A and B are shown apart, each in its own frame.
Chain A
Amino acid sequence: MFDRIAHKLPHFGRHISLFDRRKQQRPDVVRQASLVQTLGYIFKDILQFCQEACRIFCAKDKGARYKLNVIKDVFWKPFDVRFSDLLSRLDRYEKMYELELNLADREELMGYYEIFDIFVAECSRDRDARDERSAREEMLALRRQIRDIKAWIQPPDYMSTFERESAADSLHTGSWFFENSAYVSWRQSWMDSGRESSQTDFASRVLFINGSPGYGKTVLSVRLIEDLASEGDGPEDERRTVAFFHFDKMDCHFKEPAQALRAILCQIIHKRQDDKELVDAATVLMDVEGSGQAVASEGEVAVILKFFLERHPSTALVFDGIDECSAPQTFLGKLYSICSSSNCRVVLLSRPSVAVPLAWRERCLRIQLQVGANTHDIATYVRPRMEQLAMSELFPAFDIESAVSQVAQRAKSLFLWAKLLMDYLECPALTPDERLSAISHLNLLEGLSPLYTEILGVIQTKFQKERDTAYRAFQWIAVARRPLTILELRTALAIRVGKSSSDLNYIADFRQSLVQICGALVEIHQDSTVQFIHLSAKEFLTDEPQFGHQGNAGNFRIDTTSTHISIANLCLSYIMHDVPHQPLSGSSKICPNIPSVESRFPLLRYSLDWPNHAIEGLKQQTYSGFYKFSKTYLAFARATEEFLQTKRAVAVWLESVWAFGATPDIHGLADCFTSEETSEEKERARAFCGNSSDSQFLDDLMRPKRGIALLAADFEYLQEEWGHLLSNESCELWGTSVNIFHTSELTLGTNAGALLSNSNMKVAKNEDEQGTSIPVCETFSGEAKETLLLTQVSHDGKQIGSLLIIPSQ
């Protein structure tokens, strides 16, 4: 009996120690109380047993009688019987405890399961968040990458023309064009291009659209792009990309073939950002494989473009105004080399003057825009403006529909003609009778030239001053190297050669006045730049007249070559007389604030390029031109001389060049003065003049030659030696350091410091050492191979030691 109990007791001991551990580890388990209760039963019985046992065996102090009773009791009730209940209870309680324990374990297990589930859910959430974060980071990185690539490609603002034309002519729907069978066929082939596996000949994928000047090709191209772009959305593998470019001869940023390709590439990369391989390829070329230039080279652009077009054959490229490209045939050649290996489609819009390459002529699709095809569109455009005229009583009452029909018919599909006619009719200088007469005799205004002549005729009737202003505005707009802003043009028209301009010289309300003064031949774009209404207007004004004729433009004809010289002269005059001869910020120690400088001197940025205008004026001029415009050339020569003699004006120009980051081609101008072509023309002009007094101006014209050469040398020196400083702190040009190291006839010099003349120092001044005005010293005799190891100043500062080593000869 005792053995059995003794066997059980340690067992319960272990239970309690196990229970203690559980309680410490998991105090929160709910079943803890049941376990305690069950254990309590067990220990209660054990205690009871112990009490009994104690009573039986520990009765020494209770007398013999007590012992006797115990013995009797034991005798009558043996141990087995006495404790059998206890044992059975213990067994039951133990089972109960185990059951509780089991339940507690399960409960705990369930708890773990729950924790595990929560953990799994958290992990899943974390993973999702991480995925989302990495996707976002990846997206950001990709965008950054694309931004870098775009900056590297450096495309022109290809959207400007598109947006302008798209917004301007909403009535010009071009719907008639979309029914053209050649276009429909070409479009269908483009739609099928994704499904074609075989490569087709490039020429057969080209659509060549020809139309006369003023037909409205640019607007048509915009509608065409919109039509094609509407097909852009589709499944991933059938997505189509449309990229476009509008050439513009009047803007130097939009006439080079390379610029067109840059614009196209930029659009493609932007539209196909999902093509990571393309982006990566471009990045690798940009960062690793390529030339390392800050701006992508033409070759690099071509490589990426070719790579992309091969990957995405469902791409359409639209180029408008091929005739306005500076080198149409070069461009077509490049386009062929890029596109021939892919299945992409190309649309080219041009005047008929651009010849289709022989190799393409037979296979490419061609559309000749027919006269009368867009009559309905023209009528739609003219009608509201006619109605407006009638409502404003600028027109006598008449049959509007008939007038609209007449204009539409007489326009002979020249949208521009209709637009100009309406502008002409809206001119406030006309009387209602004159307007009526114009409508009645439309046959006299047929074509663009008569209309331009008529418009110029209206300007001609104005006051002399107004006529001059219009002519000068035409001159600036015609030869400007980039479109001038309205503010720049206003300032330009206020310049008085050789004098400073005052507020009184500026035209008030210039934005409104300009269009009226110029008879609607110019227009102000949304970006505030001023341009001719159409290239044909510029051509009309600048066309070379037939021999013996005055030309269509009459008194308004612009000789571009001499005009370049005039503009150069005006720019110089502006720098000389309108900009103060002091640091741009007012102090040689403060860097100029560019927006503030621009607001004070709106034309300064443009004026910095006067050498480039002078180059155009000198290089392209013929001997007769020199003779004919001798006064203009002479004025320029004198202005240049004056400029070069005014050191502070030169300093203003140089500081501005660095402050604005301009790139005037002063070397080109110096070369111009010495070039054989210019000399030959001048000699011919001299022969043409006959007597020496007439040809004196040619000698005078060459007088700035030396000064320009010096300026070019100084400029090169500053670029090379001080570019690192001047590009950030252009005001240093006025500071002491630059002027200590560099002394020249044109520079300011300084009295705040000097390069000390020393026995072994001289400053390079002669022409052979131009550009190296750093002190050239230590002109040792004989030893050519000696190497300077070090120089050192003595402790008292009075001597300098030089140590050289001469290897064996």
Chain B
Amino acid sequence: MREEWLFLGRVADNAANCDIDSECSYNTLCSQEDDIKVLDIPMKASMAASLSIGWRARIRIRATSLTDSPQLAEPIDVLVDLPPDHIFQMLMMTFYHMEIGKFRISATFSSDLKTVVLLRCIIRLRGDGYTIKNINSEDISNTNKAILQEPSSIYSSCWDLSNQVWYEVSFSQDNRYFAAICSGPMSLCDADELEYYDCSVLIFKDSGIADDEPLYETIASSGRMEEVGGISKAIAFHPSAPYLAIGNSEAVYLWKFDNTDERPKKIFSGRIDNLAFSSTGSILSGDSASGPVWFHVDYDSLRQDSPFLEDDYDGRSEGDSSGWTGSDASPATCQEDEDSHHLNPDFVGAVDVADHHPLPTCGTQNPTIAKPTNALQTLHEVGILTMKDRHSPAIQSSGDSLTLTSESGVQRSLLTTDNSAGAIIMQATAADGTTKVADLLRLPKSVLAEKSYTTVINPPAASPSVRFVLNKAPEPTYVFGRGARVQFPIVIERRKDDISIIGMKRLLDWGEDVRGSGKRLKSNAHGGCHLSLNRNHFDAFRI
């Protein structure tokens, strides 16, 4: 007991010495991780306030290769002062969540690397300088003041911390929008719901008035969704229209976010990861537990007024006819063991041929509706690196699936890092179930130990080599002061003809018995097959 008192006394002394105005060393924070756990809330608030001053961000932009970008021979390297209010909030949330030493920092680049979102600051780079815009600065400042005045109130839920911590941020392809997955404790003063965490998606839009300034404003909020952590890197912007696909642990939602009245609509019950739209947006693909799945999204149906039932988000029974996933689900819905997987037939259809429905006009947007001609030819040309058609980006990163459509079919490629094999693998799955797997690069243990992802830079057709960039992946939480064994990014070039295809097999023919699963696939009355399932992963849905 005596030791405990002494210990608390020491912690209290340390904390007392760190008054708000003085700069309390970051080292103090790191060395006192255990001590902080026993601090009371006022002390935590005091410590967070003192530590929140003087944080900076460094942004560096360099060419992937000096020869490729002569205009970027001089790299950009800017230091940005971060607002203490945002840092305070981040520290307080870290203390609040009792994850001492693990700091939750949302950060991302826009695809052109001109804009950076860090915490709730939007930084626009221009030349060697930058412009910064802080989102909800005033609200955060007020909340922080209130917490400092009455620190224990952080637990009494009287302060609305919802939407104040951004867990993940993602830009649209044209960088006009970005979506932030936000979370925090419920804003209610209801004691029963203290431990309930709210989660929502916010959409910001750049007004586009000034190129040098990030004039992003909130244009939509999804409203309350699932619990924290339910959304796992499964948000995908439509390539040209204001639609956002959101996947969490239980369902996939499609949200037309330019209409403030609309809420996300559930299009599929079941977990789908790595959501991605095809280049025209007509197909949405992802990974289910049993393998890749593709949806044809019928935007015409989606536009029709179909009520969004918030109850759906609260886990309403799948068989309830009042929900989206009612008994109307045709036999074409997934016949998997997981009965919970249901399509909303109003919005999605299967893909087995290249059928490209025109996209609806959404708001003021006029999405490009171009048929991806010669895509198949491109696939053949690039071989296993099936990551390019006319509308695909020039890069593909791990975890981002890419759906390619062509006259003769559809193909989906996914770049993954297989830690057990220590390899970067590209897997391409065609609609007929044919899967090609290419072993692109083997990785040393130190790279595997770090949280990283790989970006493959699409080579010109004539180029004999492919370029890989091993990137540092954003993490859910960061630990400061930990030295990394590998310094990212690592750029590697590899000859295309040296890349080995490690697996090529035709997985399944329609009507063929599926070994192991004991299922037989048959055409249904509507003239199509609806499920292919075996351990080699391939699902397709057809209505």
Contact = CB atoms under 8 A, between A and B. Distances in A.
B64 A798 contact: yes
B197 to A, nearest CB: 23
A795 interface: yes
A790 B397 CA distance: 13
B126 to A, nearest CB: 14
Given A790-B108, A795-B394, A807-B26, A725 B490 contact: no
A760 interface: yes
B57 A805 contact: yes
A758 B109 CA distance: 21
A533 B266 CA distance: 83
Interface in B485-502: 485-495, 498, 500
Contacts of A740: 441, 492, 494
B444 A721 contact: yes
Contact of B491 (A789, A796, A800): A800
Contacts of B111: 794-795
B64 A741 contact: no
Contacts of A772: 485
A805 B472 CA distance: 13
A774 B494 contact: no
A795 B393 contact: yes
A232 interface: no
Interface in B33-85: 51-66, 68-69, 72, 75, 79, 82
A799 B61 contact: yes
Contacts of B68: 798
Interface in B429-457: 441-448, 455, 457
Given A722-B445, A798-B63, A803-B116, A809 B25 contact: yes
B58 A790 contact: no
Interface stretch (A172-180, A216-224, A749-757): A749-757
A808 interface: yes
Interface string B490-517: 1111110010100000000000000000
A707 interface: no
A752 B443 CA distance: 16
Given A736-B494, A785-B480, A778 B487 contact: yes
A805 B469 CA distance: 21
A725 B442 contact: yes
A373 interface: no
A68 interface: no
Nearest to A786: B58
A125 to B, nearest CB: 33
B220 to A, nearest CB: 24
A789 B422 contact: no
Contacts of A797: 64, 394-395, 455, 457-458, 467
B166 to A, nearest CB: 13
A546 interface: no
Interface string B229-263: 00000000000000000000000000000000000
Find the residue from A761, A780, A788, A808 having the highest chain B CB count within 10 A.
A808
Contact of A795 (B62, B173, B491): B173
A548 interface: no
A664 B472 CA distance: 36
Contacts of A741: 444
A589 B500 contact: yes
A799 B469 CA distance: 10
B155 interface: no
A804 B487 CA distance: 12
B481 A785 contact: yes
A756 B468 CA distance: 10
A793 B447 contact: no
B350 interface: no
A722 B26 CA distance: 36
Given A722-B445, A799-B113, A808-B51, A790 B61 contact: no
Interface residues of A, number: 58
A796 B472 contact: no
Nearest to A796: B394
A796 B116 CA distance: 17
A777 interface: yes
B175 to A, nearest CB: 9
Contacts of A803: 57-59, 107, 109, 116, 118
Q: For this complex, into which size category does the number of interface residues on chain B fall?
A: 35 or more
B75 A759 contact: yes
A806 interface: yes
B478 interface: yes
Contacts of B485: 772, 774
A724 interface: yes
Interface in A570-592: 589
A527 interface: no
B154 interface: no
A750 B26 CA distance: 45
A737 B424 CA distance: 11
A724 B445 contact: yes
B191 interface: no
A454 B209 CA distance: 107
A230 interface: no
A755 B465 CA distance: 12
Contacts of B490: 755, 761, 774-775, 777
A761 B486 CA distance: 11
B6 interface: no
Nearest to B459: A797
Given A723-B445, A735-B442, A758-B65, A792 B109 contact: yes
A778 B62 CA distance: 11
A800 B62 contact: yes
A801 interface: yes
A489 to B, nearest CB: 39
Nearest to A789: B107
B398 to A, nearest CB: 12
A725 B422 contact: yes
A806 B56 contact: yes
B343 interface: no
A753 B444 contact: no
A793 B64 contact: yes
B484 interface: yes
A778 B490 CA distance: 10
Contacts of B109: 790, 792, 801, 803
A787 interface: yes
B510 to A, nearest CB: 34
A759 B43 CA distance: 45
B336 to A, nearest CB: 33
A801 B61 contact: yes
Interface in B198-245: none
A776 interface: yes
Contact of A809 (B26, B113, B393): B26
Contact of B60 (A794, A801, A808): A801
A738 interface: yes
B375 interface: no
Nearest to A804: B58
B9 interface: no
A753 B118 contact: no
B98 interface: no
Given A788-B472, A789-B478, A756 B54 contact: no
A807 to B, nearest CB: 4
A806 B55 contact: yes
Contacts of A804: 57-60
B494 A807 contact: no
A732 interface: yes
14 contacts: A721-B445, A754-B492, A786-B58, A789-B474, A790-B471, A790-B472, A792-B108, A796-B394, A799-B62, A801-B59, A803-B118, A804-B58, A807-B51, A808-B55
Given A758-B66, A796-B112, A797-B457, 4 more contacts: A724-B422, A755-B491, A761-B490, A790-B109
For the complex of A and B, the 9 pairs showing the least CB-CB separation, nearest first, are: A808-B54, A737-B442, A797-B457, A753-B494, A721-B444, A752-B498, A795-B111, A804-B58, A801-B113
Interface of A: 589, 720-725, 732, 735-738, 740-742, 751-756, 758-761, 772, 774-778, 780, 783, 785-809
